[in-house]
Amino acid sequence: MTLTVTEFLILHALAQRPGFVKSRDNLMDAAYDDQVYVDDRTIDSHIKRLRKKFKQVDDNFDAIETLYGVGYRYKE
């Protein structure tokens, strides 16, 4: 499995503090330079691709949780 740099940075930001909720803004700050503008829904797309890639390796992967209206967290 190969991750893009952005996917890796998002995964790193989440896995660094398992159980801690990261908002889309937090994840954008972790993955993108301040000079780059991206829509916050871009993070949703990256999360979707990350889950898909991990499920190709482990069909039971569910470590990235969505907290609707709040953000994402990596399960403890």
- Domains belonging to the chain, first-starting first, are 5-74 (1.10.10.10)
pLDDT (0 to 100) of residue 76: 85
CB-based contacts of 13, cutoff 8 Å, min separation 6: 22, 26, 27, 30, 31
The string of pLDDT tens digits covering residues 45-74 is 999 999 999 999 999 999 999 999 999 999
Confidence category of residue 40, pLDDT binned at 50, 70, 90: confident
Contact 37, 11 (CB under 8 A): no
pTM score above 0.85:
yes
Cα 39 to Cα 61: distance, rounded to the nearest angstrom: 26
pLDDT (0 to 100) of residue 39: 82
Contact 23, 43 (CB under 8 A): no
Residue 4 has pLDDT above 90, yes or no: yes
